[in-house]
């Protein structure tokens, strides 16, 4: 019986050692906070985007969570919404680069304002939008961030070639705020 107990202790020690020496997957090294899917984003166009220039209202809504933070474990989720108008936009206007500000309200009621530049690219039937920059105010101020949204949508391709319209996009978000 003592050989079985000794063997069991040895196995448990090996497993515990492996777990303690393996970096956690919940938050990347150096990250103040990481939010992963099912974090999501929706982008709505009114009227729906076409391949002909038109004025439209854009509404974006982002839900962050689950979020994991070593420095602020009380922050577990957040959200951001914005509405604006755009002139002379088409489906192709979704591509390219521009400045972007993302105000986030965290589950604690605190806020962060992320300011940076985004680059949008279309690969296959997916539109990827990567925004990088700095947290300019609020929680995590001074840190840098990477905000990635992947919108899977064949409607983007169809709209770009004039075979349909685009009323909205729905995708998954990964947000990482990193201490400098």
Q: Per-residue pLDDT for the chain (180 aa), expressed as one digit of tens each?
A: 333 223 322 322 222 232 223 233 334 446 799 999 999 999 999 999 998 999 999 999 999 999 999 999 999 999 999 999 999 999 888 888 999 999 999 999 999 999 999 999 988 778 999 999 999 999 999 999 999 999 988 888 888 888 989 999 999 999 999 987
* Full residue range of the structural domain in which residue 122 is found: 26-178
Is residue 9 situated within a structural domain? Answer: no
Q: What is the DSSP string of 31-73?
A: EEEEE-TT-EEEEEEEEEE-SS-EEEEEEEEEEE-SEE-SS-T
Does 72 fall in a domain? Answer: yes
Whole-number pLDDT of residue 19: 25
Structural tokens at position 131: 């925004």
This model's pTM is above 0.85: no
SS3 79: strand
CB 176 within 8 A of CB 27: no
Is 161 within the bounds of a domain? yes
Confidence (pLDDT) at 30:
61
How many domains does the chain contain in total?
1
3 within a domain of the structure (yes/no): no
47 assigned to some structural domain: yes
- Is residue 15 domain-resident? no
The reply to whether 88 falls in a domain is yes
Residue 174 placed within a domain: yes
């Amino acid at each position: 019986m003592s050989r079985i107990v000794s063997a069991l202790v040895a196995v448990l020690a090996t497993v515990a050692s492996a777990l303690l020496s393996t970096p956690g997957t919940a938050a990347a090294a150096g990250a103040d906070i990481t939010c992963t899917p099912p974090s999501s984003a929706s982008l709505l166009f009114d009227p729906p985007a076409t391949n002909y220039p038109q004025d439209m209202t854009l509404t974006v809504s982002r839900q962050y969570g689950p979020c994991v933070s070593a420095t602020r474990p009380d922050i577990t989720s957040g959200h951001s919404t914005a509405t604006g108008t755009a002139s002379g936009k088409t489906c192709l206007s979704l591509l390219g680069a521009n400045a972007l500000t993302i105000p986030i309200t965290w589950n604690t009621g605190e806020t962060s304002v992320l300011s940076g530049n985004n680059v949008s690219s279309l690969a296959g039937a997916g539109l990827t939008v990567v925004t990088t920059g700095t947290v300019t105010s609020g929680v995590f101020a001074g840190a840098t961030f990477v905000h990635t949204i992947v919108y899977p949508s064949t409607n983007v391709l169809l709209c770009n070639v004039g075979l349909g319209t685009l009323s909205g996009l729905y995708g998954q978000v990964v947000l990482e705020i990193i201490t400098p």
